[in-house]
Amino acid sequence: MAGGAVDQSLLDLLPQIHALFSDPLRVISYKWLSRNFSVSSNDAKRLLQEFVNKNGTDLQVIYSVSGWLKNNPQNYCVKLTSGPKLEEARQAFKDSCSVQVYSIQASIPKDTAVLWNPEFVQAEELFNQPFDEENCLRDNRFCGVLNSFVKRTSSGKHVSSLPPKPINSAGAAAQSKPSIAPKKQFVTARQQDLPGLSSPKQGAGNKSEKDNSTVFDKAGNALVVKEPSVSAHANKNKAQNGKAIPGNGGSLSNMWGRASAKPKPPATTNSTASAIVAATADAQICEKEEAGADSSDDEQGIKYKRGSSSANDRKRRAVFDFSDDEEDDNIIRIASPELPKQHGLDPVTETAEDTEANPKNSENKDDLPNSVKDCSRGVDSEFTSECKTKSVSTVNHSGITLKEKSIDPPVNDSKQDSTAEPASTSPKRRKVLKTRIDDRGREVTEVVWEGEASAGDKTEKNVTTTAASGATLPSKPQPAANSDKSRAPSKAAGSKKPAKAGTKQGSIMSFFKKV
């Protein structure tokens, strides 16, 4: 925490922060601030500190406290804590812990997801920008980890596999090194894996990011302890590290995104671009997820957080498929049985499975060939998040195979989902993809979190997974029929009553006029 030297140029931002803060629902985190004003995270933190110093009374501060725990000196802990509890939190740490402002807000949100939401939205926006546009996420300019051997370009040609040298302001600097290093290596490893594959796709990027964080978690597990009480925060912090650090990962994913874009027909580039963006956004979620998956059961806070945030942010995604022949009959698509191309398998997923699920994978490839081109964004997200779900349950990706997905009958599929789930650390919530055709004839893929509570969703769930599995199959008819069926009854139900009488209730107003 550096109260001290804050540039005048930074101080000029204070009025703006004040203006932002006047929105009572807004959470201003240093990360958001940093991206928004293109200042470094450290500056952003100082800025927030400055703001707190000046207007400390009428705002709530969330601090991030990091350091070595007293009761568990082996573990480096990063903890988010609210202002009043700061001292208490500090007690748990050894002498020299670092305290920084994480965010300021008018009130402490009940749902920790709110803390993270604006950042996520922002990240999504940033990744949404065109490729040639530089932004702080693309070029990773504020990454806490710098390495002179790493050359950052937005096209991401170059990634060094040297262990990075962290200069993390979080005070975690030296300590976090070990956890980062393996991660980096892992990245490289993945990278080496990938070229062997026919056409690594953008999703691979995020996949590997995900993997990174998995490994990160694994490697870091020894080092980083997550306290249940603050697990959400801690994880978030970590994820945020993860996000910043694999800023490299970000450009990696860009690179892979490029690579995959090539085999696609030009028509699809649009959707590809958005796919990449979303994929990377997905990746962020993945990271968090992975982080959550590794930790213990008491991580439900984090699930909840993600659940709600995903509900907020990614409620609905319209997928416009601009690819060749289907362009004109989006609507017919609902029922048209032959759509193998539309839902071809995704190399991403292959890469996800490649190490452990090779035999199955090869079968997948059989399904694959002609479809690679056509992967729509929807499919990407489906798969990536499928993988996500899976990797949540089985961190190392074993046991999840697209093959299972595509071959199992839908019901089993969903069952399998749910059976796989208990194995995971979080039986309570899971990510489900809902693919449906909306009233405008577009295929909409929703990634939603479903909890146990929503028993009513279960049928929906089934349908969804059906759709998902159908998507991987070359034969579309099943989901189509399914969705048809699922809407047919409702329609029938709707029309039942009127139909029964074959009549419509007239209005008295149509007979008598107003005086």
Partner 1 sequence: MLELRLVQGSLLKKVLEAIRELVTDANFDCSGTGFSLQAMDSSHVALVALLLRAEGFEHYRCDRNLSMGMNLNNMAKMLRCAGNDDIITIKADDGSDTVTFMFESPKQDKIADFEMKLMDIDSEHLGIPDSEYQAIVRMPSAEFMRICKDLSSIGDTVVISVTKEGVKFSTSGEIGSANIVCRQNQTVDKPEEATIIEMQEPVSLTFALRYMNSFTKASSLSDQVTISLSSELPVVVEYKIAEMGYIRFYLAPKIEEDEEMKP
Tokens of 208: 């590997």
User: Measured from the CB atom, is 453 or 509 closer to partner 1?
Assistant: 509
Strand order in the sheet with 98-105: 27-29, 98-105, 60-68, 76-82
Closest approach of partner 1 to the CB of residue 44, in Å: 53
Closest approach of partner 1 to the CB of residue 28, in Å: 47
Closest approach of partner 1 to the CB of residue 502, in Å: 6
User: Measured from the CB atom, is 262 or 513 closer to partner 1?
Assistant: 513
* Subset of residues 213 to 242 that bind partner 1, contact rule: CB under 8 A: none
Strand order in the sheet with 443-451: 318-319, 443-451, 429-437
User: Measured from the CB atom, is 453 or 515 closer to partner 1?
Assistant: 515
Q: Which residues contact 434 (CB under 8 A, 6 or more apart)?
A: 444, 445, 446, 447, 448, 460, 463, 464, 467
* Subset of residues 93 to 112 that bind partner 1, contact rule: CB under 8 A: none
Dihedral sign for Cα 359, 361, 362, 366, please. Answer: positive
What is the three-state SS of 58-78?
A: HCEEEEEEEEEECCCCCCEEE
Contacts from 448-453 at CB under 8 Å and sequence distance 24+?
448/310, 448/311, 448/315, 449/303, 449/306, 449/307, 449/310, 449/311, 451/307, 452/427, 452/428
Closest approach of partner 1 to the CB of residue 494, in Å: 10
Decide: is 515 part of the binding site for partner 1 (CB under 8 A): yes
| Whole-number Cα distances in Å, 3 to 34, 54, 94, 349 | 17, 12, 21, 47
User: Measured from the CB atom, is 167 or 499 closer to partner 1?
Assistant: 499
Single residue of 22, 58, 87, 512 touching partner 1 by CB under 8 A:
512
User: Measured from the CB atom, is 96 or 505 closer to partner 1?
Assistant: 505
d(CA 262, CA 87): 55
User: Measured from the CB atom, is 148 or 510 closer to partner 1?
Assistant: 510
Contacts from 419-422 at CB under 8 Å and sequence distance 24+?
420/390, 420/393, 420/394, 421/393
**Helices 247-261 and 202-221, axial angle in degrees (round to 10):** 150
Among 306, 281, 313, smallest CA distance to 291 is for 306
Closest approach of partner 1 to the CB of residue 497, in Å: 8
Closest approach of partner 1 to the CB of residue 489, in Å: 16
User: Measured from the CB atom, is 262 or 500 closer to partner 1?
Assistant: 500
Decide: is 439 part of the binding site for partner 1 (CB under 8 A): no
Closest approach of partner 1 to the CB of residue 221, in Å: 60
Find the part of the chain contacting partner 1 (CB under 8 A) among 3-11, 84-92, 453-461, 507-515.
507-515
User: Measured from the CB atom, is 110 or 504 closer to partner 1?
Assistant: 504
Tokens of 13: 């931002």
Decide: is 514 part of the binding site for partner 1 (CB under 8 A): yes
Are the C-beta atoms of residues 319 and 378 closer than 8 Å to each other? yes
Q: What angle do CA 378, 382, 383 make, to 5 degrees?
A: 120
User: Measured from the CB atom, is 262 or 440 closer to partner 1?
Assistant: 440
* Subset of residues 442 to 501 that bind partner 1, contact rule: CB under 8 A: 495, 497-501
User: Measured from the CB atom, is 359 or 498 closer to partner 1?
Assistant: 498
Closest approach of partner 1 to the CB of residue 496, in Å: 10
User: Measured from the CB atom, is 96 or 507 closer to partner 1?
Assistant: 507
User: Within a 10 A sphere around the Cβ of 25, how many other Cβ atoms?
Assistant: 10
Single residue of 57, 91, 148, 507 touching partner 1 by CB under 8 A:
507
* Subset of residues 273 to 332 that bind partner 1, contact rule: CB under 8 A: none
Element (H, E) at 496: helix 477-501
Q: Which residues contact 215 (CB under 8 A, 6 or more apart)?
A: 182, 183, 186
* Residue 439 DSSP symbol: T
| Total chain residues near partner 1 (CB under 8 A) | 20
Closest approach of partner 1 to the CB of residue 491, in Å: 10
Find the part of the chain contacting partner 1 (CB under 8 A) among 110-118, 220-228, 379-387, 502-510.
502-510
Closest approach of partner 1 to the CB of residue 499, in Å: 6
Q: How far apart are the first and last CA of the chain?
A: 76
Among 200, 242, 490, smallest CA distance to 349 is for 200
Closest approach of partner 1 to the CB of residue 295, in Å: 53
Element (H, E) at 241: helix 231-244
User: Measured from the CB atom, is 9 or 510 closer to partner 1?
Assistant: 510
Closest approach of partner 1 to the CB of residue 506, in Å: 4
* Residue 484 DSSP symbol: H
d(CA 257, CA 254): 5
Give the binding site for partner 1 (CB under 8 A). 495, 497-515
